[in-house]
Amino acid sequence: MPTKRMSESVGSTPAARVMASKSARCMDMVCSCHIWWSRVRLASRAAYADDQRTLTEVKRVARQTRQGNGDPLWRLARSRGLNRRRFLTLLLAGGTAAVLAACGDAIPERSGGADQSVASVEPPLVFKDPTPFIDHGQAGLEARLELQTGSITSNEQFFVRNNSRSVDLDIERWSLVIEGDAVDEGTELRFDDILRLPQRRMTSYLECAGNHRMMFDLLHGRAAKGTQWGRGAIGNAEWTGVSLADVLTLAGVQETAVSVLLIGLDPESPEGGFRRAMPIEKAMHPDTLLVHRMNGEALPTDHGFPLRAIVPGWVGSSQIKWLGRIVASAEPQWTRNNTTSYVLIGDGYEPEGEAVGRVVTLQSIKSALALPWPARLSATRHQLAGYAHSPYGKIASVEWSDDAGTTWHRARLASRQVEYGWVQFAFEWNASVGEHTIRTRATDMDGNTQPESVPFNEKGYLFNQLLPHPISVA
């Protein structure tokens, strides 16, 4: 089927928009560092002349490290364990030579003006600074709930879950192809085409299906397969983008369509681009979005720049990052991510379709305290806080118990609720010396509540039983 291109090229206007959005988020840094740039120019002139970096280029490097995007020198530093602050300090003090020395590299020989050392460096697993996170290697970065403030998770503290390395895409070369046997004709959209469509803003939590997986081992004594996520593979953000339904309509989706497959541009993922399908009903829901902004800023590289899916209430694997291809079909579409991965395997889970177990789509109702696990507190009165969410809608109540569930007390819902976001809760607790556990229990508007226990499944998905949070008081 021939592909219809909606615009011949990205052109200067969308590129300017994207650069403007990236520049806007860094203006505070640039304005406050005018003297800093002057010192860089004076103190590091020789080093930057050798590397042919101009003052403008140095500003760009600083902006990109702040955004999580990838300057080649920053990629090298990041892959060698340098965080952003250390990287910029070295850059200020000694230019490229200082950074390379810290990375254990000599200044490279020149060949045709290209920086061969940086070009040959293996890209990092993720681009953001791992310092505030629990680092799970290639699987990603787990947020620490105790660092969360307010109801919105900042881009810098938002967890990262990858099935391969993060992909640094060039927006001027990026396009989105919509094709399949259930569209009138293949369609190719550029970034400015996306910006021309009606824009939506929506707050929604995003959670990995394996969040809380380690609890199977801690509480059931039986470890599930996969990365042992604690409670931090979740975040809550405001997303801006377009409805998937509008994009499909633009391509002429047909009434025969049964399923829609989303495919990412991460070639190292199994199947050559992470992919998952959804029923046409979910794809055409007005709140299933393709987003290009996160908390008012351009999507960071680790979170799918320039375009990703947000599917409220569904597990994170459905919310494809670095989106590059959409396939609408008159038949169900099966991939490894809904046949052998992201399926519930265990007693009571009947296989469906071509899957070896029950396909994981919808998340589960949960609550968690925003404390380290285990926590250590002083013997005094504390205000404790946490977060609760449900894929079925708004939270009606959160209760807490410090006597193994014999007595339950109502917590205060401390943040404004939105349809797809989590809600912050809080309560006061008199901490006495000794060892304690506190349980929290969320109930949503439809009466769904957290269970006392959940059956084991081999891959450790959707763990949502009541958590006995250990707290030591001295």
pLDDT tens readout for residues 280-336? 999 999 999 999 999 999 999 999 999 999 999 999 999 999 999 999 999 999 999
Report the sign of the C-alpha dihedral through residues 109, 113, 118, 121, in that order. negative
> What is the Cα gyration radius of the chain?
24
pLDDT value of position 420: 97
pLDDT value of position 75: 59
pLDDT value of position 125: 85
Write phi, then psi, for 273 (nearest 5 degrees): 130, 115
Alpha carbons 394 and 469: distance in angstroms, whole number: 24
What is the enclosing helix (H) or strand (E) of 191?
helix 191-196
Spelled out in words, what is the top-level CATH class assigned to the domain 155-359?
Answer: alpha beta
Nearest residue to 417 via CA among 135, 201, 205: 205
DSSP state string for 360-403 = P-B---EEEESS-SSEEE-SSEEEEEEEEE-TTS-EEEEEEESS
pLDDT value of position 466: 98
Confidence at 63, pLDDT banded by 50, 70, 90? low
Mean pLDDT, all residues of the chain: 84
pLDDT value of position 47: 37
Nearest residue to 8 via CA among 169, 168, 172: 172
Query: Does pLDDT of 118 surpass 50?
Result: no
Nearest residue to 74 via CA among 116, 130, 123, 113: 123
Q: Give the pairing type, strands 308-310 and 275-279.
A: unpaired
Over residues 106-118, the mean pLDDT reads 35
Q: For the chain, where do the domains classified as CATH 2.60.40.650 start and end?
A: 366-473
Query: Does pLDDT of 384 surpass 90?
Result: yes
pLDDT tens for residues 237-248?
Answer: 999 999 999 999
Over residues 189-203, the mean pLDDT reads 98
Nearest residue to 408 via CA among 396, 398, 420, 423: 398
Q: For the chain, where do the domains classified as CATH 3.90.420.10 start and end?
A: 155-359
Query: Does pLDDT of 1 surpass 70?
Result: no
Nearest residue to 258 via CA among 177, 181, 345, 161: 181
pLDDT value of position 124: 80
pLDDT tens for residues 147-185?
Answer: 998 999 999 999 999 988 899 999 999 999 999 999 999
- Residues 116/122/126/132 CA torsion (nearest 10 deg): -80
Beta strands in 138-193 (DSSP E): 140-142, 160-161, 176-179, 186-189
Alpha carbons 54 and 59: distance in angstroms, whole number: 9
Confidence at 62, pLDDT banded by 50, 70, 90? low
**Which amino acid does the sequence have at 416?**
R
Peptide bond into 306 cis (omega under 30): yes
pLDDT value of position 27: 42
C-beta of residue 284 within 8 angstroms of C-beta of residue 245: yes
For residue 133 the two structure tokens come to 């996170």
For residue 130 the two structure tokens come to 């791992």
pLDDT tens for residues 253-289?
Answer: 999 999 999 999 998 877 889 999 999 999 999 999 9
Q: Which residues pair with 443 in a beta bridge?
A: 397, 449
Lowest mean pLDDT among 25-34, 143-152, 210-219: 25-34
pLDDT value of position 72: 58
pLDDT tens for residues 389-448?
Answer: 999 999 999 999 999 999 999 999 998 999 999 999 999 999 999 999 999 999 999 999
- CATH number attached to the domain at 366-473: 2.60.40.650
Neighbouring residues of 124: CB distance < 8 A, sequence distance ≥ 6: 70, 75, 78, 79, 165, 166
DSSP state, residue 116:
H
Alpha carbons 63 and 48: distance in angstroms, whole number: 17
Alpha carbons 384 and 298: distance in angstroms, whole number: 33
pLDDT value of position 5: 72
Query: Does pLDDT of 18 surpass 50?
Result: no
Beta strands in 22-96 (DSSP E): none
C-beta of residue 233 within 8 angstroms of C-beta of residue 159: yes
Whole-model pTM: value is 0.77
For residue 425 the two structure tokens come to 């809760």
